[in-house]
Structure 1
């Protein structure tokens, strides 16, 4: 973990639409997982960490998050189902007014779960990953045979149970040529949302695994062709410049969000907060900066007042071409990828080929 004391623009007061609360809170309830994914952010392990938040600490955290009142709480991992009290956590969060999402791994454990019980516990949505468009490529990516079939089965079971389904696809240099097949698969499965993750070099993933900026631009153009036509929503994770492509096409302009359900401008630390299995608070799961621990400080205080969070919410604190870009308030680039590639969280987005028109 990287400890942050000071960061550019940390004390600058800005008109901050995301200043009071995050829109999305990702809580890594455990790092335990039975899979061995090539790109795993968490570098997940087979067994639970001895210093995970206890059930009592988890209950306290849910109550604190309810005070912060984020519109969405996502329970992730590792595999959150490896934590035996995960549905109790979900139910407590639901009872305190939060919309709860669950992001499980497609293992035999998930196959044995009653999805109606998951929904009755207060989970409203489930995100499942397909990182290969075929059985062979996905199972190779995930490191365990049978994962593709279990994922497809889980999509159908989740929809039958009344859960909103999001399918996550991580694009890398190695699976970019499957994009058309991914697209066709989404039309078959018809999730509520297709979230295209753009790989960040962290955890088990390296810079060599990143797609090139030019290749991504081409993919984003093809994704934009689907907006308003596909029977599912389309968004990106750590691929914020897709919003710029949409704006350039006139899809709602810079203030619109056609094809997306989250407000424009969200990025690491700006509308997003991540809490690790041991309680460490970071701007996102892909940006491993230690901004405090929920065992010692209220998560609302970290989000609203920590200098790094304050700086990351300031689009004028961005460096390089991102700082000059006319789309910086709706995009701002992946701060996690900038850090993973350059060591500077405020550097230009390495995976964007756009050259700003502004000379600011």
Structure 2
């Protein structure tokens, strides 16, 4: 494998410009758990009907006002679900948020409600970013996973309609055993249809996804390295795959040294198979500036509010620190024991506690908690043994060069 030197002017990991202990970069509000789909991995275990105790229109408005009080720049406010299109007041809530100065994005499900008309109504309300999910490259694999016929066509149709309207699209794809060899095919769709970002979601065992079939740690390492390879062709990132930041740093350093990562990082047969398929599909051609992953994770630049107002570090880490109906989200985020603790690398245990990358990675706290019951346990799907990377001095020099920007 031939390696080209990477740019020394580009950081392998982006860091936040503002203190994540004071304000999040992303706020996700689960507007409802109502959804007409029955996806096999659903963390929310969504149901057809709405919960009568969901936040009301006015309560949602008050929540958005609170989010603005974090300060400038305002966090990105994402309205999610379930399926947020199940709420008749979605367009009014989105418009109120935009009018008060929030950057509002929407994450709908792939139902018939995802159509050009509904997207145009969102756009008229001031929303120009949506997030869609595609978990298979074919009708058979995606609809089999989502368990409702037509979701693939609804998703592709919504994607194309959004692009025609000039909206930006983030595409999300679960990474699990059933579809891992289809990831290059999904990436080819991303390249052909165009997205703002493609995010690979490393499965967290929660909700219906407990027994779905997550990859093992070595397989995850292989997938993350293929994502890195694709990064000069398509804008790829990860969700609950925080060790992609460690991979990005290591691959950056290896490229600078002209060292093949297969031996240095002990990559396995899944990496070789996915790389060969990606190459055959023209996904390793390069030509675009690599988008480095950003140092944001559960409770550390990110906060989640569920349908009944409970505040948690993530939708996959359902440990409430308070409720917006009786507490300030700003106070919960900045001062609660759960949130202040999750932002401390020195609280991490096992390999994560010893790891030299824990200030930029820290592992998935959601996966650690759902796997062990301990928020601070080591990341179960990381194969890396702390201190074993062969170019440790070069990594240390890279950290020192970015020291003013690291937290």
Matches within 5 A, 1:278-357: 278-357=308-387
- Asked if residue 219 in structure 1 is aligned to residue 223 in structure 2, the reply is yes
Partner secondary structure for residue 206 of structure 1: helix
Is the Cα–Cα contact under 8 Å of residues 31 and 81 in structure 2 kept in the other structure? yes
Which one has the largest radius of gyration?
Answer: 2
Structure 1 residue 31 and structure 2 residue 33: aligned? Answer: yes
Give the unaligned 5+ runs of structure 2.
1-17, 256-288, 389-407
The aligned counterpart of 1:105 is: 109
Residue 177 (structure 1) shift: 2.1
In structure 2, the residue matched to 1:51 is: 53
- Of 78, 86, 97 in structure 2, the residue corresponding to residue 74 of structure 1 is 78
Match of 1:238 in 2: 240
* Number of aligned residue pairs: 336
Q: Where does residue 277 of structure 2 map in the other structure?
A: none
Task: Give the drift of 1:111.
Answer: 2.4
Report deviation, 1:61: 1.2
Q: How far 1:124 moved relative to its partner?
A: 2.1
The answer to whether the 8 A contact 1:119-1:162 is kept is no
Query: Mean alpha-carbon deviation: is it higher for 119-128 or for 109-118?
Result: 109-118
- 1:46-89 deviation digits (Å, cap 9, x = unpaired): 01001011112111111111112442111000000101111111
Match of 2:270 in 1: none
Matched, 1:248 2:250: yes
CA contact (8 A) 1:173 1:210 kept: yes
Assess, with a 3 A threshold, how the Cα gap between structure 1 residues 128 and 269 changes in structure 2: closer, same or farther.
same
200, 210, 218: which is aligned to 2:204? Answer: 200
Cα offset, 1:271, TM superposition = 0.7
Unaligned runs of 5+ in 1: 1-15
Per the normalisation by structure 2, the TM-score is 0.79
Contact 1:251–1:258, Cα closer than 8 Å, also in 2:
no
TM superposition outliers: structure 1 runs of 4+ over 3 Å: none
2:265 counterpart of 1:263:
no
Report the CA distance between 1:252 and its aligned residue: 12
